[in-house]
């Protein structure tokens, strides 16, 4: 399968999961800040993914294309949405759980190990 299509599917799923996590964390405030949440989601998910995928080709130092996407995802939403402490903790927990769950599902069901390549999970299609 084409690598570009695979990355687009992964990023689209990550964006939808990001919106769902923010919706769960923010509760009723979500509707009043939906435009801001979409902008933050685009910057966080797409920007972080582009930087982590193409930082190596741009010959950026390792700490930039590994740490900056994580800092974007961890710091930008809580700071820009003025999350309370309990909301921030819920966001961080849901974020970690959802990324691992997405990686497990993509690895098991379609054999894509692009999201967290250092966690080895065999595909259901490759098990005999």
Contacts of 14 (CB under 8 A, 6+ apart): 45, 49, 99, 102, 115
Q: Is residue 128 part of a domain?
A: no
Rounded CA-CA distance 81/48 in Å is: 18
Q: Is residue 31 part of a domain?
A: yes
Q: Is 74 within 8 Å of 92 (Cβ atoms)?
A: yes
Q: Per residue of the chain (128 residues), give pLDDT as tens.
A: 677 788 888 889 999 999 999 999 998 888 888 899 999 999 998 888 888 777 778 787 877 777 888 888 899 999 999 999 999 999 999 999 998 888 888 887 787 777 776 777 777 777 66
Q: Is residue 68 part of a domain?
A: yes
Rounded CA-CA distance 10/103 in Å is: 9
Q: Is residue 109 part of a domain?
A: no
Q: Is residue 93 part of a domain?
A: no
Counting Cβ atoms within 10 Å, is residue 82 exposed (0-12), middle (13-18) or buried (19+)?
exposed
Q: Is residue 119 part of a domain?
A: no
Between helix 3-26 and helix 34-41 the angle, nearest 10°, is: 140
How many domains does the chain fold into? 1
Q: Is residue 115 part of a domain?
A: no
| Cβ neighbours, 10 Å, residue 53 | 16
Enclosing domain of residue 46: 3-87
Q: Is residue 126 part of a domain?
A: no
């Amino acid at each position: 399968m084409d690598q570009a299509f695979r990355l687009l599917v992964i990023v689209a799923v990550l964006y939808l999961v990001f919106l769902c996590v923010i919706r769960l964390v923010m509760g009723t405030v979500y509707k009043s800040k939906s435009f801001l949440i979409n902008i933050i989601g685009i910057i966080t998910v797409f920007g972080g993914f582009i930087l982590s995928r193409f930082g190596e080709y741009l010959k950026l130092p390792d700490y930039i294309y590994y740490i900056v996407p994580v800092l974007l995802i961890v710091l930008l939403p809580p700071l820009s949405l003025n999350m309370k402490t309990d909301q921030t903790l819920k966001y961080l927990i849901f974020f970690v759980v959802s990324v691992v769950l997405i990686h497990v599902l993509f690895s098991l069901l379609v054999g894509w190990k692009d999201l967290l390549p250092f966690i080895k999970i065999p595909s259901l299609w490759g098990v005999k």
